[in-house]
Amino acid sequence: MTKYRNIGIGVVGAGYMGKAHAVAMQAVGAVFDTALRPVLEMICTTSEAGATTKAAALGFSRSTADWRVLAGDERVEAIVIATPAASHRAIADMALGLGKPVFCEKPLAGNLADARAMTRLAESSGVANMTGFNYIRTPAAQLARQMIGRGEIGDITSFRGEHTEDFYADPAMPATWRSFGRANGAMGDLAPHMINAALTLVGPIDSLVADIATLIDRRPGEGEGDESVAVGNDDFGQFLCRFDNGARGHLMFSRVSHGRKMGYIYEITGTRGALRFNQEDQNSLWYYDASTPGARSGFRQILTGPEHPDYAGFCLGPGHGTGYQDQIIIEARDFLTAIETGKPVFPTFRDGLAVTEIIEAAFLSAGEERWVKVSEI
């Protein structure tokens, strides 16, 4: 029996993430020797001319400006959704209804109702489904998860995390689509990654109290000479939380933090030690062992290498490192595994929904200025 089988891939969205997924699908077979070998069948973007250009640049056989054409094409066997959040449900609904596996970028949907509907349909269909939380896939993050699971830092007592960037820190930057719609603000765009990290590494959140703000509330219009416009979503958010296991947490999110390029940072403290991670140095995990004698105590750097999860597929040299694109290749491997085995692979739509519920609780808390139990949502 032949070991390999081709699978036709369609990607909806040809921007930053659409390109990343196209590259990942081309590389994943060689990196991880997957049984399913992706074939780039079709890409969809907003214009026929643009789609034709992207198909040629990224290696797709065909292109379209209508996602319905892509979803319904018989040679497209699995679909990657890499479009703004408001469009996710319609695309996923059609794909899942046709029995086609779906990988959907975060946030899962533009609102809670759509996220819940997508999750119900995905689970009732039995079709492979995944949500795009790529940062939790780094070898260092997977190592952290293993160490916590083995009790190496004891019972977790606190979690401090942030996702901060500065791509919108200049008030002179014009308004764009990112300036409008709740799902496109800091809480919709940046918060999901760190909330996913907290849920994955520590566990479910019981309750929280949040503060959400728009620190730069007006921006120049998109066109030259346009009058300034009111920003329609948040650029900063934070919350205190209590986890189900009794741990306490503080999470912060900002797209206006000068100097932060990829400030996906967390520190996890337990009864026997602590872990610290910064995505700007994604190949290092810092470990504090509380049993080390005082004269030699302190955080020590663990450089990722072939002994750590998923590293060896990319490189056999310890400390040589993996990069951003490699996270997307790991996601592609996981998606293909879910399709091949017919078994759910983390993170599914259900995991994406859990993050959406936390964000909804945060907006309720900020609006009513009170602690909110996630079970209220």
Residue 296 has pLDDT above 80, yes or no: yes
Residues of the chain with CATH 3.40.50.720: 5-134
Tokens linked to 30: 């060689």
Name the residue with tokens 């080390």.
Answer: 292
Residues of the chain with CATH 3.30.360.10: 136-368
For the residues 254-269, what does the mean pLDDT come to?
98
Residue 223 has pLDDT above 90, yes or no: no
Query: Would you state the pLDDT for residue 141?
Result: 98
pLDDT digits (tens, 9 = 90+) for 127-136: 999 999 999 9
The CATH number corresponding to 136-368 among 3.30.360.10, 3.40.50.2000, 3.20.20.60, 3.40.50.2300 equals 3.30.360.10
Residue 1 has pLDDT above 80, yes or no: no
Going from the C-alpha of 63 to that of each of 74, 99, 100, 125, the distances in angstroms are: 14, 21, 18, 27
CATH number of the domain at 5-134, please?
Answer: 3.40.50.720
Query: Would you state the pLDDT for residue 222?
Result: 80
Query: Would you state the pLDDT for residue 226?
Result: 79
Query: Would you state the pLDDT for residue 227?
Result: 86
* Chain centre distance of CA 109: 13
**Predicted confidence band of residue 10 (pLDDT cuts 50, 70, 90):** very high
Judged on CB neighbours under 10 Å (0-12, 13-18, 19+), 60 is: buried
**Predicted confidence band of residue 243 (pLDDT cuts 50, 70, 90):** very high
Q: For residues 28, 29, 30 and 34, what is the CA-based torsion angle, rounded to 10 degrees?
A: 110
Residue 224 has pLDDT above 90, yes or no: no
Cα dihedral across residues 197, 289, 309, 317: positive or negative: positive
**Predicted confidence band of residue 159 (pLDDT cuts 50, 70, 90):** very high
pLDDT digits (tens, 9 = 90+) for 28-62: 999 999 999 999 999 999 999 999 999 999 999 99
Percent of the chain with pLDDT over 70: 99
Beta bridge partners of 143: none
How much is the pTM? 0.96
**Contact, 193 vs 131, CB < 8 A?**
no
Cα dihedral across residues 357, 358, 363, 368: positive or negative: positive
Residue 2 has pLDDT above 80, yes or no: no
